[in-house]
Amino acid sequence: MNRKNFLRTAAFGGLLPVTRLNIHSTPTLLKTTPVVISTWNFGVEANRAAWEILQEGGSALDAVEAGVRVPEADPSNQSVGYGGFPDREGHVTLDASIMKGDGRCGSVAFLQQIKHPVSVARKVMEESPHIMLVGEGALRFALDQGFEREELLTDNSRKAWQEWMKESEYKLMPNIENHDTIGMLAVDAEGNLAGACSTSGLAFKMHGRVGDSPLIGSALFVDNEAGAATATGHGEEIIRVAGCHLVVELMRQGYRPQEACREAVRRIIKHNPGRTDLQAGFLALSREGEIGAYALQDGFSFAVRDQEGEKLQDSVYEL
């Protein structure tokens, strides 16, 4: 039997699992119908900006950048970009990442005074030989690239911080009270995946703290051969399990997006038996447009936009 016939027999006759063959084959680009998903209720508006690009045949990369910029610029959103809650010392410090299905990626961490960290992350990917820049270096790079310095601490967020200072009690609060993050995944008409993530991190965190959002493989991972994932919640726990890399690798092994997200949540629970003060929510998207979402506990919502319209959904959860 020559090799070609063997592979055909293997695929149709069941000698080898079909997925084994796929792992080693170069992925062909599919024509697909675009889909964009993102974390939390503010994802609905963010998805609209992404959808405008996707429906005109634009790339998933352009779509996720445009989408994530929406909550970054919104002062009423106190967990992302402008208007984000500051750290304990009153500084708004931002983390963001962006990744394409071909493995190219960029990120910034502990960046101050720049309203759109996701766009700086994209510049790191496209205009620097590196993947990640932090703090002062990230700021200098952003300024060199033409971004402007801005005051990101709004009056409302300053007041919330001053209120918090009275007790200075650092307690973890699940869901919207303390932390959300925009994580967005998209597949475009060419079948290419991309994702982006942006946050001001946990409210009133220690100065210098960096969460999962800028760490490739923790809050974001994208691979056209397997799928895409993003995460929100307590970054320290998501980092410990390399959450989004785990989700995508499980999808590569044949897990459905939802099952893969559930497995990541279960790993976090295994590290934290009995704890009820944690939250983590994962979203996953396959190249064929299949969506998965799973959270550690109640309260995680996500937004979906496809040709059928827009939806806000509550995620299933474990505890």
Residue from 77, 112, 113, 213 binding ligand SD4 (CB under 6 A): 213
| Alpha carbon 230 to its chain's center | 3
The answer to the question of residue 211 lying near ligand SD4 (CB under 6 A) is yes
The residue written with tokens 């800028």 in the block is 214
Residue 290, by phi and psi: left (phi above 0), alpha (psi -120 to 50) or beta?
beta
Among 65, 87, 180, 223, binds ligand SD4 (CB under 6 A): 180
CB atoms within 10 A of CB 37: 30
CB 239, min distance to ligand SD4, A = 8
Instruction: Tell which phi-psi region holds residue 192, choosing left (phi > 0), alpha (psi between -120 and 50) or beta.
Output: beta
Piece of the chain touching ligand SD4 by CB under 6 A; list 4-12, 128-136, 178-186, 270-278? 178-186
| Residues with catalytic function | 181
Under the binding rule (CB under 6 A), the answer on residue 72 touching ligand SD4 is: no
Residue 74, SS3 per DSSP: coil
Tell the smallest beta-carbon distance from residue 203 to ligand SD4 (Å): 9
Query: What does the alpha-carbon distance between residue 290 and residue 177 come to, in Å, rounded to a whole number?
Result: 30
235 binds ligand SD4 (CB under 6 A): yes
| CB-nearer residue toward ligand SD4: 90 or 299 | 299
81 binds ligand SD4 (CB under 6 A): no
Which residues from 5-34 bind ligand SD4, rule CB under 6 A? none
Q: Which two tokens stand for residue 213?
A: 């959002």
Least distance from ligand SD4 to the Cβ atom of residue 112, Å: 15
What order do you get walking across the sheet with 105-111 strand by strand?
132-134, 105-111, 94-100, 193-199, 182-187, 35-39, 301-306, 309-314
Pairing of strands 227-233, 280-285: antiparallel
Q: How far is the CB of 10 from ligand SD4 (least distance, A)?
A: 43
Q: Which position among 116, 122, 179, 287 is part of the footprint of ligand SD4 (CB under 6 A)?
A: 179
Sole binder of ligand SD4 in the list 212, 223, 249, 306 (CB under 6 A)? 212
Residue 203: C-alpha distances to residues 31, 74, 84, 121, 233 (Å): 42, 17, 8, 22, 12
Q: Is 214 helix (H, G, I), strand (E, B) or coil?
A: coil
Q: Considering the rule CB under 6 A, would residue 233 count as an interface residue with ligand SD4? A: yes
- Binding segment for ligand SD4 among 15-23, 45-53, 68-76, 210-218 (CB under 6 A)? 210-218
Contacts with ligand SD4 by CB under 6 A lie at 179-181, 199, 201-202, 211-213, 219, 232-235
